[in-house]
Chain A
Amino acid sequence: MSTPTLTQETQTQAGPAAAAGEATTERNPALSPGPGKTPAATLRRYALQGGRAVWGAGAIILFLLLWELGPTYLAPASTRVFLPPLHEVLEALGTLIGNGQLQNHLAASLSRSASGFGIAVVTAVALGLLVAWYGALDRFLNPLLEVFRNTAALALLPVFTLLLGIGETSKISIVAYAAFFPVLLNTIAGVRTVDPLLIRAARSLGLSNFQLFQKVILPSAVPTIFTGIRMAGTSSILVLIAAEMVGAKAGLGYLIVNSQMSFLIPDMYAGILTVSLLGLLVNYLLVGVERHFSRWRTAVGSRTA
């Protein structure tokens, strides 16, 4: 199924380069929705699209197949206990959802990462704007920020636990810490890279500093800031799971570790699966938001034209 797609793709790519008239005439009616569309061409196009979709999902399907069949047929029986096939994991996931446990853990994790993430975004954007605006503040703070930025958040987990206990405060704090730096650095970069010509243009209109900030610098920096926010979203989940594994009474990290200790191996995998799905979802959402705010940016590369 996937092999013909590949050859077809290479054919269309080589077509114009080799000036092969055949390939070009074949391609055109299929691409343009004009009246000259033949059923055969339509069919071929659907086949192409379908083939692409299968090829795109192929790796995932293969992986899931391996997960399902591997433990039963390939692995020794002892391993099978530690690596249950997919359907057992899904069953466990169903049970966890059925008795409401998963929702509880998910809610606990989500509220922690959302609060930490929220705190980080608000403070980092505010500080980033200040630092980027006042050069002196930047020169003063930058060395310290560099030190903190390059200290892995998880390395500080013991410190957070010692100072803030194992309750919510320490977990929210470490999430906030981890999410803080991507947002801060991108905010600074976003403000720094505002086109000086736009600032000149706004100044020539007699805008005050505040108006300049509100109408030129901030909107211009928004896409870069959102890139930072997206990165922060990913890292906030990452760090939270780790923190929950160390000391917590609820949350996805706790679910994973606790299941492992209680030898509920399928439950453990159900927790891991939830974490990766959650990560995917969050990233997808934030990419959507980022794209929404960067619509005008589509052609920045060709601005000189």
Chain B
Amino acid sequence: MTSGTGPIPKISLQNITKKFTVRPSKDNPEGAVLTALDGISLDVSAGEFITLVGPSGSGKTTLLDLLAGLTKPDTGQVLVDGREVAGPGRDRAVVFQQYALFPWRTAAANVSFGLEGVGSDGKRYSRRERAGKAREYLELVGLGGFEDRYPHELSGGMKQRVAIARSLAYEPDILLMDEPFAALDAQTREQLQTELLRIWATTGKTIIFITHGIDEAVYLGQRVAVLSSRPGRLKEIVDIDLGDRSGDEDVRSDPAFVEHRHKVWSLLHDEVRRAQEAGHAKIQPDGTAPDETRTIATGKAA
């Protein structure tokens, strides 16, 4: 399976296929099988920042769930550090689009959530150590002094910062981000993108970042993986070389950026159109897609 030469990739997807059974409904009494991902193979090396773009319903979130260990592939293997992913683990952290903060916990208590109990290495943090870690990571995401705020007292951007701090606090190697900035306004989004690059540079995490935005994908990723419309296949991987992105200059108007952006755009364009024509919509966590039953129903009527 593995060639044996060279270092083991941090993450290795090997010929992943994931299907969902659509529950029988009134329109569609037999039920159906929805292929979300079809034969995905991808290696990600340690410390890499890879972005994933694809049209709606191309299985981006499904892929992330597989990496997080929330679901299992039907065929193929998901390997992290050469070992098959058996379930969720603290070596991987997920950042969700809708923040997923615990509203009854303060910012600090949210950040230290993953530090409670016995860690995977058998280590147990004291209350004081947890508070210290929470402060440290809130500081890292630029929210020092907001420890005692409840989520409902924070803006969207601040909530997502807390969520990122929570994911970083238990020191995972891999950060899995599912359209984390999609719900934010343009200005906050840009600000957080810059921050994320800084955090990535200081912590050296391996980041897999799902997005709808081509600009975002090109700006953040060292590589951009383009998924096809459903069933999700890996269409192409675009290497992005923008030189040093930590500077102050406007990278987005750089000719190299524009060129990369155009390349990803053309790759994605056909897929988006195809997905739109098929009327694909987001696959729900329970494996149903709202459009799937509709297409079948209209197919029957025709």
Contacts and interface: CB of A to CB of B under 8 A. Distances in A.
Instruction: Describe A's contact surface by its main secondary structure.
Output: helix
B98 A197 contact: yes
B68 interface: yes
A297 interface: yes
A298 B151 CA distance: 11
B116 interface: yes
A220 interface: yes
Interface string B16-53: 00000000000000000000000000000000000000
A221 B285 CA distance: 22
B285 A196 contact: yes
B89 interface: yes
Given A219-B104, A296-B104, A205 B153 contact: no
A206 B98 CA distance: 19
B150 A201 contact: no
Contact of B96 (A201, A296, A305): A201
A249 interface: no
Given A204-B70, A300-B152, A198 B113 contact: no
Q: Which of B70, B93, B103, B150 has the most CB of A within 10 A?
A: B103
A295 B105 CA distance: 10
A109 B132 CA distance: 51
A215 B113 contact: yes
Interface string B87-114: 1111011101010101111000000011
Contacts of B98: 197
A270 B203 CA distance: 72
Nearest to A293: B104
A147 interface: no
A200 B284 CA distance: 13
B116 A215 contact: yes
B290 interface: no
Contacts of B68: 204
A295 B114 CA distance: 23
B76 interface: no
Interface centre among A206, A220, A298, A302 (most CB of B within 10 A): A206
A235 B230 CA distance: 55
B247 to A, nearest CB: 34
A203 B100 CA distance: 12
A200 B100 contact: yes
Which are the 6 A-B pairs with shortest beta-carbon distances?
A299-B152, A201-B100, A206-B88, A204-B94, A296-B104, A197-B100
Interface of B: 68-70, 87-90, 92-94, 96, 98, 100, 102-105, 113-114, 116-117, 120, 150-153, 156, 170, 285
Interface of A: 195-198, 200-201, 203-206, 211, 215-216, 219-220, 222, 295-300, 302-303, 305
16 contacts: A196-B285, A197-B96, A200-B70, A200-B100, A204-B94, A205-B114, A206-B89, A206-B120, A219-B102, A222-B104, A295-B150, A296-B152, A297-B104, A298-B152, A299-B153, A302-B152
